[in-house]
Amino acid sequence: MGTFHVVANAEGVLVRPHVEQIGVLDVIDALRRGYNDFQEKPSHYVFLCLLYPVAGVVLMVWSAGANLLPLMFPLASGFALLGPIAAIGLYEISRRREMGLDASWRHALEVRRSPAILSIAAAAGVLFVIFIAWLKVAEAIYAFYFGAVPPASLGLFISNVLTTEAGWWMMFWGNLAGLVFAVLVLAISVVTFPLLLERDIGAVAAMQTSIRAFLRNPVAILFWGLIVAILLVIGSIPIFAGLAVVLPVLGHSTWHLYRKMIGPPDVKPVRGGAT
């Protein structure tokens, strides 16, 4: 179990890892390397990633049963906001393969023994808060156009969304809000979890580093975000089953994207915040 330090590292040092500048070709290469990792070690995705589509189906059925049809799409698309958490075990597999260590799927569970586990949990908590905020915003947008009363049936809901002006405006503002949330999560998490997995620097320091990486490489990271969005849409058809392949590829690729952007651990730290 790690000690309680989520702002800086265990010594109270605020570490600022060096951020490299990358381009679109680096993103493509990271995706290629991630696919190679998946081909080399494909068995673990059954253990890790089938949980994702199963959770998606369960939540959608629960929403329909609770007459919360307006939240079906926000729930499904909102899973992308939690993707960095779901992929932590995949980062560990890629890290071990990079180091020439045994990279069998059981090592994905060793993340729970990481000295940075509390920082990882704190960063995950931030993403969960953002996920809940997205659901609340999506619910408010629906209520603005259709009122607080839920639709009487799935058919009526689909008809209202696709064939009415109110439905078109709801989709416009809903997708715009979703884009804002997606970019926010991309900025604060693109390297956060791989960084914490490799170095126990604290959740705040890791998220600051992720934001600096985003600001230095906005085109490359937004391009990466577009790839993620496209592959998640493809993987979600039908009933999220394709995510059992898409998720591990994206998870491994994220590790390689992190490796391209963040300098080695021996960068001189900057003294800063307390534990």
Cα–Cα distance, 66 to 61 (Å, whole number): 9
The structure tokens listed for 275 are: 């534990």
The structure tokens listed for 82 are: 């939690």
pLDDT of residue 190: 94
Cα–Cα distance, 41 to 57 (Å, whole number): 26
Cα–Cα nearest to 241, from 112, 34, 57: 57
pLDDT tens digits, 9-65: 656 667 788 899 999 999 999 999 999 888 887 655 554 555 555 565 555 555 555
pLDDT tens digits, 119-165: 889 999 999 999 999 989 998 999 899 887 777 777 788 888 889 99
pLDDT-wise least confident of 53-62, 196-205, 232-241:
53-62
Residues in the chain: 275
The pTM for the full model equals 0.80
Number of alpha carbons in the 13 Å side-chain half-sphere of residue 110? 13
Local confidence band at 274 (pLDDT 50, 70, 90 cut-offs)? very low
Rounded to the nearest integer, the mean pLDDT of the chain is 80
pLDDT of residue 257: 95
DSSP three-state, residue 19: strand
**Residue 78: CB partners within 8 Å, gap ≥ 6?**
131, 134, 135, 138, 181
